[in-house]
Amino acid sequence: MVIPGYSRVWKLSILFFVFMRQGGSYCSYTVAERFRFIIYLNVWRCTTISNLMINEQIRDKEVRLIGPDGAQLGIVSSREAFAKAQEAGLDLVKIAPQAKPPVCKIIDYGKYRYELSRKEKEAKKKQKTIDIKEVRLSPNIDTNDLKTKVNAARKFLSKGDRVKVTLRFRGREMAHMASSKHVLDDFAEHLADVAVVEKAPKIEGRSMTMFLSEKR
């Protein structure tokens, strides 16, 4: 089954479509057809997963070549670059495909992917995720409960999280929502040494909310 003039992805799609349309089992295909299908599938997965072109996949007319020791080897044909990589017992990897001409380096592809993966993991560790933690209060909260809620919010803030403070109203308390704003103001005052009011108290349905964030 020869399909000239199509990209690998289209070849894979067409082969799979034909396979499904014919309704035959996988075993109904010749060994050559099965082998070709598997090759297209593996090449497609490789280029999609890694987003890197290596060795025979690099077919540019010319590339800027970097040696395994980092030395600039000039602009050469991709065939010559691949030959040099083979001579060194290493791989030819296109590390800057957008450059003109593309930049390729002679390296150990396995080690290169490992280093990229390690750097990505380190970068993710450095990225701090800020969560929003909620603390709920009532208009008639007593002193002890208020202190407990303040301490909980303090812990959240110390971890770099934002704190959503919700003052919840029920029944007749709804008639005094505006006059209960002082509960949130007092809460923020207790945390003034570690927090700033990011969003001032605002009525939302049956609640009044306020957002606090860590003081920088």
Same domain, residue pair 201 and 169: yes
Q: Are residues 142 and 188 in the same domain?
A: yes
Q: What are phi and psi of 59, to 5 degrees?
A: -125, 20
CA–CA distance, 131 with 211 (Å, rounded to integer): 12
Provide the number of structural domains found in the chain. 3
- Clarify whether residues 64 and 114 are in a common domain: yes
Asked if the structure places residue 176 within a domain, the reply is yes
Residue 1 within any structural domain of the chain: no
Within this chain, do residues 110 and 155 fall inside the same structural domain, yes or no? no
Q: What is the 3-state secondary structure (H, E, C) of 99-116?
A: CCCCEEEEECHHHHHHHH
**Cα 121 to the chain's mean position, in Å?**
11
**Rounded mean pLDDT, 102-116:** 88
Tell me, yes or no, whether 24 lies in a domain: yes
Does some domain include residue 168?
Answer: yes
pLDDT-derived band at 57 (thresholds 50, 70, 90) equals confident
Per-residue pLDDT band for 50 (boundaries 50, 70, 90) equals low
Cα of first residue to Cα of last residue in the chain, in angstroms, is 66
Diameter of the chain by CA atoms? 85
103: CATH: 3.10.20.80
Residue 42: inside a domain, yes or no? Answer: yes
139 and 112 share a domain?
no
Same domain, 67 and 118: yes
With tokens 């894979």, the residue in question is 12
Domain closes at, from 107, 125, 143: 125
Joined together, the tokens standing for residue 113 give 């992917």
Residues 61 and 111 in one domain: yes
Q: Which of the two residues, 121 and 24, has the higher pLDDT score? A: 121
- The reply to whether 147 and 205 lie within a common domain is yes
- Say if 3 falls within a structural domain: no
Share of the chain above pLDDT 90, in %: 37
Does residue 83 share a domain with residue 108?
Answer: yes
173 & 200 share domain: yes
Segment among 46-50, 86-90, 190-194 with least mean pLDDT: 46-50
Check whether residue 139 and residue 208 sit in a common domain.
Answer: yes
Domain that holds residue 20: 8-50
With helix as H, strand as E and coil as C, how does the chain read? CCCCCCCHHHHHHHHHHHHHHHCCCHHHCCHHHHHHHHHHHHHHHHHHHHCCCEHHHCCCCEEEEECCCCCEEEEEEHHHHHHHHHHCCCEEEEEECCCCCCEEEEECHHHHHHHHHHHHHHHHHHCCCCCEEEEEECCCCCHHHHHHHHHHHHHHHHCCCEEEEEEECCHHHHHHCHHHHHHHHHHHHHCCCCEEEEEEEEEECCEEEEEEEECC
Residue 61: inside a domain: yes
Predicted local distance difference test score (pLDDT) of residue 30: 56
pTM: 0.43
Asked whether residue 12 is domain-assigned, the answer is yes
Tens of pLDDT, residue by residue over 157-197, are 998 889 999 999 988 888 888 889 999 999 999 999 999 99
